[in-house]
Amino acid sequence: MEQDGELQRHDYLLNQIYGAVGSERGEGWHDVLACLSRYTDSQTAVLEFAVAHQPAESRFIAAGARSDQGAIHEWENRDPDEIMTYALAPGQIMIRNNYETLGLPGRFQALLQKYSVSRSMTFALDTRDNQQFLFHAARSGLAPPYTADDVERVRIIAKHLSRAIRLHVDMVGATQFSDLVTDLITDLGIGLMLCDSDGGVRLLNQHADRIIGCDYFAIRNGLVTAEDRNAARKLQTLVQRALAKPLDEPASHIGAARFPSAWDDRTCNVGVKSLTVETAPFRLRRRYAALYLDDGMAATRNIQNALQQLFGLTPAEARIAERVIHGIELSAIPAELGVSRTTVRFHIEAIYDKLNVRTKGGMIATLTRTLPFLWDTASN
């Protein structure tokens, strides 16, 4: 899922589309269709996003039309209650010659008739969780019928848009996961990456780039491979379990695997969470497996600032909490910090109150749900 130059252009185009859809008076459609004009010489172009809530229903969100000079002459938001009685599978093209028999919304029919549109091609860009994106290209009635070259041109446009949609959903979604944005903002030396049900992988920070570059394991097309085959099988199972969770289920920790290095005595612990993302503006919801990669470098990092920011701990409380996180017994903390047992007990009680827990186990459980540390990495 690398964002090369072509995807950058289409990601820009997708942002233009979002802007046009969200504008009050139709601003932005000129830029959208100008971008599309490099791919098609149709005299009229209609761009439309629709959401299919049922297999045979699609609801319009927006449509725009341009003349052969490239000017926008018409733009409308669709009434969400206006329904089209068709739906396409992703990648499917439908060539239409008569709009009047398709049960289109009246205002949209008027738009097409105004520009003498008698032929169009509809390409289904993407369908996720019963929601559908559609791209339309149309010719005026005076233009010749579509040819095989025209069909291929529209298919290429639609495929580019489809890739841009998927890329944009992943990019936007990375900032909307429950707790994940906190993990990204709070730099703890942990690599973060996402896996989707289509086999796609996205590395979210530089730590993930660094750790993946050390060849502990690899994920390609949804398949986990590693020198340690048992660890690879375990991680494969955890990712599949995470992706199989229902969309409406809260984020949850699935488990962890340990990968030894093929080059030295280091190991990489990989924790797996199951998360659902919902993206704007079309409210697409999708399940992801979030992988937390810890190659031991994070253990030497000072996390006291993160503990203060996330939980409102004082500097003294953060020093104690950090040591508890790293497995130091409460009885050993006074000697390590050079303070009295009474002082440690006072701060522990304050931490318990702020975390709304009453035991050390509850304290650790609360911290582990928020901080991306991997305690349950028992040997495979």
Cα-based distances in Å from 156 to 50, 95, 123, 150, 159: 20, 16, 10, 10, 5
- pLDDT digits 0-9 by tens, 346-358: 999 999 998 888 8
Other C-beta atoms within 10 Å of 107: how many? 13
- pLDDT digits 0-9 by tens, 174-191: 455 555 656 665 666 788
Q: What is the mean pLDDT of the chain?
A: 69
User: How confident is the model over 206-233, as a mean pLDDT?
Assistant: 89
Backbone angles phi, psi at 176, to 5 degrees: -125, 5
Helix/strand/coil for 179: coil
- pLDDT digits 0-9 by tens, 92-121: 777 766 556 555 556 666 666 665 565 667
Alpha carbons 373 and 370: distance in angstroms, whole number: 9
Other C-beta atoms within 10 Å of 162: how many? 19
- pLDDT digits 0-9 by tens, 250-269: 878 888 898 988 777 788 88
Q: What percent of the chain has pLDDT over 90?
A: 14
Q: Is pLDDT of 307 > 60?
A: yes
Report if pTM > 0.85.
Answer: no
Q: Is pLDDT of 237 > 90?
A: yes
User: b or e along 230-260 (b: 16 or more beta carbons within 10 Å of the residue's beta carbon)?
Assistant: ebbebbbebbbebbebeeeeebebbbbbbbb
| Maximum separation of any 2 CA atoms in the chain, in Å | 90
DSSP 40: -
User: How confident is the model over 128-157, as a mean pLDDT?
Assistant: 64
pLDDT classification of 61: cutoffs 50, 70, 90? very low
Give the pLDDT of residue 190. 81
Report the number of secondary-structure helices (H) and strands (E) in the chain: 12, 14
Helix/strand/coil for 239: helix
Domains of the chain (ranges plus CATH)? 5-173 (3.30.450.40), 180-297 (3.30.450), 302-370 (1.10.10.10)
Give the pLDDT of residue 243. 94
What residue ranges in the chain does DSSP mark as E strands? 49-54, 57-66, 72-77, 83-84, 93-96, 117-128, 131-140, 191-195, 201-203, 218-220, 223-225, 252-260, 267-279, 284-294
